[in-house]
Structure 1
Amino acid sequence: MRIFLAGASGAIGRRTVPALLGQGHEVVGLTRSKDSADRIEALGAAAVVGDVYDAEALTQAVRAVRPDVVMHQLTDLGSGDRAANAKVRVVGTRNLVDAAKAAGVRRIVAQSIAWAYEPGDEPAVEDTPLDLHGAPDRVATVEGIAALEMAVAELPEWVVLRYGTLYGPGTWYERGGLMAQLAQAGHVPANADVSSFVHVDDAASAAVAALSWPSGPVNVCDDEPAAGHEWVPVFCAAVGASEPTRADAERTGWARGADNRYARKELDWVPGRPSWRDGFTRA
């Protein structure tokens, strides 16, 4: 297949490109800079320099490639600016979906998140509603996710990859990354909030597998949702931070983690790092 990969130079994209090529697919990666384009081409793919916010140019680029599948791995997390990342999810996705439609593309695979679900007592499954009625700062994030997922579902075939919290090279959760820096400054308390993690290599493997998955959302995370009381001390040790402060407040309702049984049991996707427990130490 010919794949148009938006976000090919990102943490997941850099791993997805060689995995797609290894399966015999043709890949054209969209990126914003010439330097990133050079890195994509060094991996063996073709590259297009463009701006996802330039709708007309993006449509022309996708039409020129004539892909079988559009893959959306766009983020804007380098500076920690959540507003910029929300804009990518809303505006960037809208433009990418419209470009795919104009090019006659039937299938899209898109990155989403696994912590946008409404509050509950158990790890969330795929049909759990999104949390559109929470605090204003959280709703802004979830509304961006809802807009992304609704836009993607306009294509005849679509898969939304609801990734757990990404860790590993190129993410906030690596030695020297944003969360490591916060941990070293004592600003990552070990609390009761539950998270689900996924290593970037496993995120990439799911993106490749999703080329043949049925339409719908899929939780892509490891096997062990865990409270911060458990994972934060392990993460701090892995990145050279001091033992964290324990916070005994009750769990935030939406911080419930996500259940990966659908991916495992129905789609035969198995994470290479089944738990953050050893994943952090060999990230």
Structure 2
Amino acid sequence: MSAPTLTPENTLTPPVKRRIGALEATGHGLTLAKRNLRYVVRTPTTLIDTVIQPVLFLMVFVFLFGGAISGTWQGYLQTLVPGLMVQITMYASIGTGMALNTDISKGVFDRFRSLPIARSAPLVGAVLGDVVRYAVAVTVLLLLALALGFRVQTDPLSALLACVLVIVFGLTLCWFSVLIGMMVANPQAVPGVSMAVILPLTFGSNIFADPETMPRWLELWVGVNPVSHFVDTVRGLMIGGPVAGPLALSLVAVVLCHVILLPLALRAYLRRVR
């Protein structure tokens, strides 16, 4: 039997890849962000760590170390809460890299590649979807702190701005988490590698203690640590103090982190999902 003759009607042609514009790609990212939010709503147990961490940090540091550091735990509460707002968003950002690594390991991104969506959409959706984690963490921390006696000493608008800046800081660190998540082989390795960087940034800052009580070399590190500038900004907005100077340094740190981390994270992401 002779082979069938190929004609234009029965010849399979490869699909033409359609160029996706920036606006359409943004829409795809927002759609996948909604997907992640629906998943959180349907399975709220995924937020357990986000809820427990603020409670543990606040209770441990206020009641165990507050008297030793500040004389009374009530006075330490006022100083600590703005700093913890910055710290817990840093810890919450680790979830972005873990979630992306898990989706890639389970083949979720293989299904995404079969869809007519922008390649960056799953990444954008994961990062934007994590805003809920930051908002939940900050809300839980503030509610517990208010119940213990913490009071905003400025005004509601300044306090709201402080919360927004904390979430912006968390979104900035998402790119670091994405970079780690795309570099390691499995999701279990993401927290260990991330904490090796986050711990020196948080404990080597002015979150828990006055830098003037530290050794000179550590005090110098605290002075250049961008986390310290964010903490100073949040404290100024919530309990009073200088804001303009620390805010300017914080925004410079955000821009530098995006300039450095964003291209590296995108390159690692595109290489991983290729």
Shorter-chain TM-score category? under 0.3
Give the strand-richer structure, 1 or 2: 1
Choose between structure 1 and 2 for higher RCO, CA contacts under 8 A separated by at least 6 residues: 2
Q: Which has the larger radius of gyration?
A: 2
* TM-score, normalised with respect to structure 1: 0.26
Give the helix-richer structure, 1 or 2: 2
* TM-score, normalised with respect to structure 2: 0.26
